[in-house]
Amino acid sequence: MIITYKVNEHQLDRAKMLYPFDALNGSITKGEGNLYGALAEVVVHDHFRAKGHDIDYQGNYDYDIIIDGHKVDVKAKHIKVTPKPYHNAGIVDWNINQECDYYFFAFTKKDLSEVYLLGYMGKEEFYNKATFNKKGEEDWNGWKFKANTYNVKVEALHSFAQ
Q: What is the pLDDT of residue 141?
A: 83
**pLDDT digit string, tens, across residues 31-83:** 457 899 999 999 999 999 999 999 999 888 899 999 999 999 999 999 999 99
Residues 121-137 as b/e (b if ≥16 CB within 10 A, e otherwise) read: bebeebeeebeebeeee
To the nearest whole number, what is the mean pLDDT of the chain? 90
- Check pLDDT > 50 for residue 160: yes
Q: Residue 127: is its pLDDT beyond 80?
A: yes
- The Cα–Cα gap between 55 and 46 comes to 9
The span from the CA of 89 to the CA of 18, in Å, is 23
Residues β-bridged to residue 67: 55, 70
Angle at the Cα of 120 (from 107 to 139), degrees rounded to 5? 55
**pLDDT score for 32:** 58
What pLDDT, on the 0 to 100 scale, is given for residue 29? Answer: 45
pLDDT at 51: 94
| Residue 128, helix vs strand vs coil | helix
**pLDDT for 89:** 96
pTM, two decimal places = 0.89
